[in-house]
Homo-oligomer: A and B are copies of this chain.
Amino acid sequence: MNKTELIAAIREKRSFLCIGLDTDLHKIPAFLRTEKDPLFTFNKAVIDATYDLCVAYKPNLAFYESLGSAGWASLEKTLRHIRDHYPGMFVIADAKRGDIGNTSGLYARAFFEEMDFDAVTVAPYMGEDSVKPFLEHQGKWTILLALTSNRGAADFQFSEDKDGGKLYEKVLRRSLAWGNDQNMMYVVGATKAESLASIRAIIPRHFLLVPGVGAQGGSLEEVCRYGMNDECGLLVNSSRNILYASGERDFAEAARNEALNLQVDMEEELLEADLL
């Protein structure tokens, strides 16, 4: 899925919502746990109830890996369900991988070939040759961690270089030479909205994947004020608020209502920015 198609999907659905499939066996409704594949059953119901309100799904790999090969199979089935029923959906493997070149190449193979994700989140600590193998896959996206939404972001990401820049700014600047706005995006946490203006000065055209709205306390309005560009340029993620809106039999309907609330707010932001 290329950038033009992604922007078209945002306009068509009047939404830049990404739903994070952080599907936790311990948090899904109890009655689902007796199913043969509870994670997939849950995901399928949530996806079937929300596909028209979002442009992207983002399974977080940890939730599947924590169940071993069975969890991995649930992930594969979830992706296949999206591909079979909802063409044109952008699907992100939130994996935060990154290793020496030949190993990153295998992670890229895992997510882009063995499975058919559109994008993978990648950690920058190991530098260029740990990121490039992901960029070699035509038509796929690398989403590099820049400024994350968690408290620990302060430990290293804000480290001030002797030349005055912060580490996350160095990650943005240096990685500009590795890819472009057609194959790279950046993770910027909604809880760091005040940094979005300076980030946009460095990467005006790149899409940003923004976690942290909702459960983590970020504000959609602020994210849009500082981060939106004339192509929208944002995928705003919500996970827990949508997935666990209800712990009862109406969980999918409740998830839809939460997603709808966000879609309505996003439509308003798109209208205000003259994007619709």
Contact = CB atoms under 8 A, between A and B. Distances in A.
Given A76-B68, A156-B167, A157-B127, A62 B103 contact: yes
A174 B157 CA distance: 13
A167 to B, nearest CB: 6
B127 A97 contact: no
B127 A125 contact: no
Interface string A2-25: 000000000000000000001010
Contact of A156 (B97, B107, B125): B125
Interface size class of A (residues with CB under 8 A): 35 or more
B65 A106 contact: yes
Interface in A216-248: 216
A156 B157 CA distance: 11
A125 B125 contact: yes
A107 B97 CA distance: 12
A124 B69 contact: no
A237 B69 CA distance: 27
Contact of A68 (B65, B72, B104, B162): B72
A268 B150 CA distance: 47
Contact of A114 (B68, B152, B171): B68
Given A67-B114, A68-B76, 10 more contacts: A60-B99, A62-B104, A65-B72, A66-B106, A66-B107, A67-B110, A72-B72, A125-B157, A128-B152, A128-B155
